[in-house]
Amino acid sequence: MTTALTPSPTPTPTPTATPTQTPLGTLSPPNPAVLGDSAPAGAPGNPYSESTGAGWRPVIMNRPFRSVGEMGYAFRDQPFRTISFSSANSPDGALLDLFSVNDYSDPSSMRAGVISLNSQQPWALAAVLGSTIKREDTPRSGSPGSPTPQPLTTPEANTVAASLVSLSSTAPVTNRSGVATLIASETGLGSGVPKTQRESIARALGEAGQTRTWNLLIDVIAQSGQYPPSATNFQNGFFVNGEQHYWVHVAIDRFTGQVIDKQIEVVNE
């Protein structure tokens, strides 16, 4: 049996979009073709201008990728707009979880220097952030000359690290895409600097950061000795003949609970 579908006698009309035009330099609402990503946040500018537009145009990376965070230099489907790793709930943040510039396909290989994005040790985070290139669109020196990249300074790295620790202590991130949300809220560099400079944090932590593993340090002091004949319990008169100090480093997969690495270090005091 065949059933015929009867069309609705009064189809719902399609809404007609109302065209709007934003003058050059107007902030509300911002026009993506006028507001460049490389400009200070919220500042108006015209990247099309031949005389003043150079400071508003995205950075063109004329070299290989060094970190997955450098995808933030790549264009997206809007004029003068690039992939965002510095806005809360960024739709582009998942790229940090999906891509890498290094080959980690060998499941038995170990990676050195990987740090938890939820680490509560600001000194460790500051060490990773230190010397990360903050700005590449610097003026050329000499003729023809070449740009001199500006790294994050030590005070900037320390301030950013302290801000990230404060944020992750109250709202831990669950994957590397959470870096974008951390950058949107951090106060070390702040929202007043250009996007390309704020995302130096993503360029540093996007490749070297992780949230999958718990890294634990167990401090063990093992003592050997004997109890006297008069001992009546374990706390009564134990004589220590020898002592050894160990640090046990354990990495546990947060999803499966599996111990994926263990190292025992003898501490000689």
For the stretch 106-150, pLDDT in tens is 766 667 778 889 999 999 999 999 989 998 877 666 656 666 888
Per-residue pLDDT at 248 exceeds 90: yes
The per-residue pLDDT for 12 is 43
Distances (CA, A) of 127 to 30, 156, 231, 264: 37, 11, 52, 24
Q: What beta strand segments (E) does the chain contain?
A: 115-116, 133-135, 150-151, 209-210, 213-226, 239-253, 259-267
- In this predicted model, what pLDDT tens digit does every residue of 26-82 receive, in sequence order? 434 444 444 556 666 566 667 777 777 776 777 888 788 889 999 999 988 777 788
Range with the lowest mean pLDDT among 109-113, 159-163, 169-173?
109-113
17 three-class SS: coil
Instruction: Give the pTM.
Output: 0.69
- In this predicted model, what pLDDT tens digit does every residue of 206-243 receive, in sequence order? 989 988 888 888 999 998 888 888 878 777 778 888 88
Distance, CA of 168 to CA of 191 (rounded, Å)? 18
Contacts of 197 (CB under 8 A, 6+ apart): 134, 135, 189
Token output for 99: 């891509």
The per-residue pLDDT for 62 is 79
The most confident of 102-106, 202-206, 249-253, by mean pLDDT? 202-206
Distance, CA of 134 to CA of 197 (rounded, Å)? 5
